[in-house]
Structure 1
Amino acid sequence: MRNLGLDFIATAFPRLLDGFVIAVQIAGVSFLLSIAFGFVLGVLMTLKNRWLSVVLRVCLEAFRLIHPVIWLFILFYGLAYAFDTPTNGYTISIIVFTLWGSFEIGDLVRGYLTSLPRHQFESSMAVGLTRRQMYVHVLLPQIIIRTLPSVVNLATRLIKTTSLVSLIGVQEMLKVSQSIIQVAYYNNPTSMISFTMYLVLLIFYFIICFPLSLLARYMEKKAASLTTGT
């Protein structure tokens, strides 16, 4: 039986865990920032300002249609060229994923706000609520309930997409695993460590993404029951 490289993986496992932590950090920070900025962008998208609407729509389509890896390269190399200084791949990754997630959530919020019955806005104003109070006390709770399943799904997508940051030198799981495979092959060219390592990565991604998938389904059912009043 060919060597599966289990002993080598066991030795290098702490490095793999470090890569896992970095991937979770990038996805987690980007996700939290995306929620904060996304709700603000969603409100801005509903304002009756033609130029603002055009700019936000162009940005939304840019991040929706252009692959995140292109944005990673543009910011990583573009900022280094513009400021004539090395860029930090970890920081660039968070910026790109935050922008991507913010516009995704912003579009969800915009879609829900524009679908609300007009009387909700009029009733809020009629009882003396300010615009800020209307959003915080009347609209925001509804938006959270309706958009939460999609927002949780975005967290899953962010986790999976963090593998791209290895292309700009960030030492996340995929980058670390590739380094381990190269060293293992150098020591034992007949080793099947590639299969074993990617199986380990599959397990890592499954452990974090599957619970999020279950949570999204639960939130979707909960939102549907609250909306229908059942």
Structure 2
Amino acid sequence: MKWMKEVAEKGVALGPEPWHMHPVVFLDAMKPVNKQCYCYKQGIVDRPCQSGAVDVTKDDFEVLAAQLGVEREVLRAIAVAETGDKVPFKYYVRGEKHAAILYERHYMKRISLKLGVSPETVRKVESSEPDIMHSYDKSYRHGKDSQQYQRLLRAREINSDAANMSCSWGKFQVMGEYYHHLCGSIQELVDAQNYCAMQHLQYFKVFLVKEKRMLQPMKDKDWLTIARRYNGTGQIGYDQKIENAYNSLKNKW
């Protein structure tokens, strides 16, 4: 701790010199440790934050680029392609910060069956609520941001874990299905993604390295391979979208 020495009046005997904690430092020291700081829990930072980062900064991209040996523009190009590189939080409910999401109904169908939802229930939901469960259809349009959240809420009524795993989360829109690379449970991932943009970056990092093994294609700027591994083999034009974003960032970082 820092201390401020008391200035005694000249000629007045005070005995041992007293020391006092500066009021500002005292208040700072009294702040409770934020047990919700996931970066601190994961050993990424030395001190817990108090509110969570609202976005990933240019400096953050540069740090990750140095860690992975990948150009910073390649990493950020994916953020541009996925979310326009905008602040990755929404307020689906007034006053409640929530990571930007995209709900994927075909994931919900597959994961629900995997987690034990009965085939009968799946068939019923697919028939009556096709926006909640359905087979993959490349012509499907996801709709508005607000609809994603409402679908997530409805899907949670069927199976909460399956619903959370069936959304892509945050600035880089990584599917919740891969939570185990970073968190002990899907709910922990959801809480972390809703809390801090640095958790979006961490999830992006482990997704690239552990799930998709994308470092070499990113180093080679192999846009087609990047697009297929990140967005699936059925991607259409995503490779060009990333390349265009990369070229723009090379011109103006």
- Please indicate the TM-score interval, normalised by the length of the shorter structure: under 0.3
Q: Which has the higher contact order (CA 8 A, sep 6+)?
A: 1
Higher helix share: 1
TM-score of the aligned structures, taking structure 1 as reference length: 0.23
TM-score of the aligned structures, taking structure 2 as reference length: 0.21
